[in-house]
């Protein structure tokens, strides 16, 4: 119940965090939009300012270029005094006719004398202004339909004087508004962005993009902001355009030393559209983020639930494992330790005895007459006998000693922590005497069994687990041969060091007939024997860990050699053999990691079995195949 409550709290916290993030995102949405509006307004205004600067530069350069042409024509006419030569000079100037429509020379009465001959413009405002106003200033006049070209253009003109200062005519250039529009179009960006060039004195349009109607060219600008425009060099204002009725934000700047003001305006609708695009993109990202966050919250919730369920399953599994382990480690009938626990306790007892210079007594017990009981009275009666014998024997040994059932009617007793020279005669006779009395069966009948005991002691009869087991087993069979119901002390002795008398002997029966593989097997046996000697107290520079590392490396090289032979001779079971190699390496690594004080002998026994099983099993089949195919 506590775990369930804790799980609910954690899942609730996950979703609470998610809801808080959603609420925060909604709260921040309005602030984010306001920031985007401010940023986009600033961006549009910055772009408009840059466009106005670029347009100012273009306009000033064009006007100064026209002024230079006008002065050149005036200077030439002063020198030549001939209209025809001046006209030829104008034709040879080679100015850009996409910008400047034409250059003309007018006499003092307003008649065209160089280009535009036969036309009189004495009634034009710019001509009359030059006629009455001495000076060298350029005059820029509003857009009108030209009498010569019949097209919309505005004029830039300059006064011509005689040497005595008297008015002698005008040099005029006609400029089409489209020349500016083409330039503005490159800077426009949005169709709602507007460019206007206005004469500051007459408030008349010189150019505009988009272009106005014919009537709008002649209409002066009438804006409440004009006072500010005339006062300031640069500025901004918001107004509704009289041309197209669109509300815009305008930036303006005066063109230096010219009666011109450059306007660039951008529509608020364009700003809102840009804001909408950015905000929608952020919304998409936010929605995606919230979706991912929600999915993560769901995944985390499911993970927490699964984790709790897995933890509960693990608890049940561990309980089941403990039950199974207990069943595997203990004999179900007698409750005594079974073989796995027996080997573990024997290894620990020998390891402790080696460290403390003590002895361990190992007794193998085999019941005499047990088969007769089974045959005559049935297996249930046999089970009664085994339980009774177990109960009696437990009373014969110390609590620290171990009695194990190895299988059937075979038992073993481990008596550790013995002083050297301690006699086991009393213990053996006590165990034999414990089964001397009849055992009553549930049906009222009595049966009788005896026991044959084989006794082996560490280190007198063996230094390794299998050596000690073999000695005790041999002694037990000697007891059987001597008439049963007795005990026998083993006569086996540990072999001295030296390869021929080593614990693990590599004999001719282990040879496969492939020289390189046999040599490597022999090297592996040497390493296992060295490991055995170190475990039993002999000094070695590598120690247990170092010898395990050498054994692993030698095994790896050996497996590579076998793989090379399998490739060379096309061994059909190569995949299975390679898989077995990997399993053996993993097992060796695991055994090295599991080696701790107290279980070295048990691990050592597993290493010995690991090596011999490999040589006599899979490698035996490989050797036969290689020899049959001519490998030596």
* pLDDT band with cut points at 50, 70 and 90 for residue 129: very high
Task: Give the pLDDT mean for 181-194.
Answer: 79
pLDDT for 240? 85
pLDDT for 475? 93
Percentage of the chain lying above the pLDDT 90 cut: 24
Contact 451, 479 (CB under 8 A): no
pLDDT for 498? 41
Per-residue pLDDT of 575-585, as tens digits, reads 888 888 888 88
Residue bearing the bigger pLDDT, 327 or 192 = 192
Parallel, antiparallel, or unpaired for β 487-489 and 450-458? Answer: parallel
Contact 431, 476 (CB under 8 A): no
* pLDDT band with cut points at 50, 70 and 90 for residue 499: very low
Query: Helix (H, G, I), strand (E, B), or coil: what is residue 488?
Result: strand
User: Which residue's structure tokens are 């080593």?
Assistant: 502
Q: C-alpha angle with apex 337: 335 to 341, nearest 5 degrees? A: 150
Q: C-alpha angle with apex 246: 268 to 199, nearest 5 degrees? A: 110
Write the CA distances from 598 to 347, 568, 572, integer angstroms.
Answer: 7, 45, 43
DSSP state at residue 97: T
Residues contacting 98, CB < 8 A, separation 6+: 179, 182
pLDDT for 547? 80
pLDDT at 184 over 60: yes
Residues contacting 581, CB < 8 A, separation 6+: 559, 562, 563
Per-residue pLDDT of 216-264, as tens digits, reads 787 887 767 888 888 888 888 888 887 778 888 889 999 888 899 989 9
* pLDDT band with cut points at 50, 70 and 90 for residue 542: low
Q: What is the dihedral of CA 389, 390, 392, 396, to 10 degrees?
A: 130
Least confident range of 133-142, 307-316, 517-526, 530-539: 307-316
Q: Facing residues of 174 across strands?
A: 102, 155
Contact 248, 261 (CB under 8 A): no
Contact 411, 403 (CB under 8 A): yes
pLDDT at 389 over 50: yes
pLDDT at 46 over 80: yes
Tokens of 624: 């036969």
pLDDT for 292? 77
CATH numbers and ranges of domains, the chain: 33-301 (3.30.450.20), 339-489 (3.30.70.270), 499-628 (1.20.120.50)
pLDDT for 583? 87
Per-residue pLDDT of 72-122, as tens digits, reads 999 999 888 888 898 899 888 888 877 888 898 999 999 988 887 878 889
Letter string b/e over residues 14-26, b meaning 16 or more CB atoms within 10 A of that residue's CB: beeebeeeeeebe
């Amino acid at each position: 119940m506590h775990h369930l409550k804790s799980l609910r709290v954690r899942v609730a916290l996950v979703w609470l965090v998610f809801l808080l993030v959603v609420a925060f995102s909604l709260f921040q949405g309005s602030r984010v939009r306001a920031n985007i509006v401010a940023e986009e307004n600033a961006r549009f205004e910055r772009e408009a300012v840059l466009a106005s600067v670029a347009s100012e530069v273009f306009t000033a350069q064009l006007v100064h270029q026209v002024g230079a042409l006008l002065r050149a024509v005036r200077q030439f006419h002063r020198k030549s005094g001939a209209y025809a030569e001046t006209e030829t000079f104008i034709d040879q100037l080679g100015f850009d006719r996409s910008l400047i429509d034409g250059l003309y020379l007018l006499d003092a009465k307003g008649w065209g004398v160089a280009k535009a001959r036969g036309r009189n413009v004495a009634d034009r405002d710019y001509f009359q202004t030059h006629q009455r106003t001495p000076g060298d200033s350029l005059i820029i006049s509003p857009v009108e339909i030209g009498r010569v070209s019949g097209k919309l253009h505005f004029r830039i003109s300059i006064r011509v004087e005689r040497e005595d200062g008297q008015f002698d005519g005008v040099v005029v250039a006609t400029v089409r508004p489209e020349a500016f529009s083409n330039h503005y179009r490159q800077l426009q960006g949005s169709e709602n962005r507007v460019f206007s060039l206005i004469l500051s004195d007459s408030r008349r349009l010189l150019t505009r993009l988009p272009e106005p109607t014919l009537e709008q060219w002649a209409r002066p600008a009438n804006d409440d902001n004009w006072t500010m425009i005339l006062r300031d060099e640069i500025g901004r204002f918001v107004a509704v355009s009289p041309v197209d009725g669109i509300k815009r934000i305008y930036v303006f700047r005066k063109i230096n030393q010219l009666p011109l003001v450059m306007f660039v305006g951008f529509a608020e609708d364009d700003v809102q559209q840009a804001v909408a695009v950015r905000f929608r993109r952020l919304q998409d990202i936010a929605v995606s983020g919230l979706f991912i966050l929600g999915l993560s919250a769901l995944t985390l919730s499911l993970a927490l639930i699964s984790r709790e369920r897995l933890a509960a399953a693990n608890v049940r599994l561990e309980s089941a494992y403990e039950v199974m382990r207990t069943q595997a480690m203990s004999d179900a009938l007698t409750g005594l330790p079974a073989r796995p626990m027996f080997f573990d306790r024997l290894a620990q007892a020998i390891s402790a005895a080696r460290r403390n210079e003590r002895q361990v007594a190992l007794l193998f017990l085999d019941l005499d007459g047990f088969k007769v009981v089974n045959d005559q009275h049935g297996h249930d009666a046999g089970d009664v006998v085994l339980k009774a014998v177990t109960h009696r024997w437990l009373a014969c040994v110390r609590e620290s000693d171990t009695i194990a059932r190895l299988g059937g009617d075979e038992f073993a007793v481990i008596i550790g922590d013995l002083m050297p020279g301690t006699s086991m005669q009393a213990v053996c006779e006590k165990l034999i005497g414990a089964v001397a009395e009849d055992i009553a069966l549930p049906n009222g009948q009595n049966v009788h069994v005896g026991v044959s005991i084989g006794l082996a002691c560490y280190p007198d009869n063996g230094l390794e687990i299998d050596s000690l087991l073999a000695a005790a087993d041999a002694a037990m069979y000697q007891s059987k041969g001597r008439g049963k119901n007795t005990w026998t002390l083993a006569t086996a002795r540990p072999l001295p060091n030296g390869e021929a008398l080593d614990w693990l002997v590599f004999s001719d029966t282990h040879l496969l007939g492939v020289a390189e593989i046999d040599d490597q097997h022999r090297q592996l046996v040497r390493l296992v024997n060295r490991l055995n000697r170190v475990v039993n107290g002999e000094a070695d520079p590598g120690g247990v860990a170092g010898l395990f590392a050498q054994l692993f490396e030698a095994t790896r090289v050996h497996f590579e050699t076998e793989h090379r032979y399998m490739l060379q001779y096309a061994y059909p079971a190569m995949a299975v053999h390679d898989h077995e190699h990997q399993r053996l390496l993993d097992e060796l690594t695991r055994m090295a990691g599991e080696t701790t004080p107290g279980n070295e002998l048990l691990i050592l026994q597993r290493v010995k079995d690991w090596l011999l099983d490999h040589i006599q099993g899979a490698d035996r089949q490989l050797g036969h195949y290689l020899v049959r195919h001519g490998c030596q």
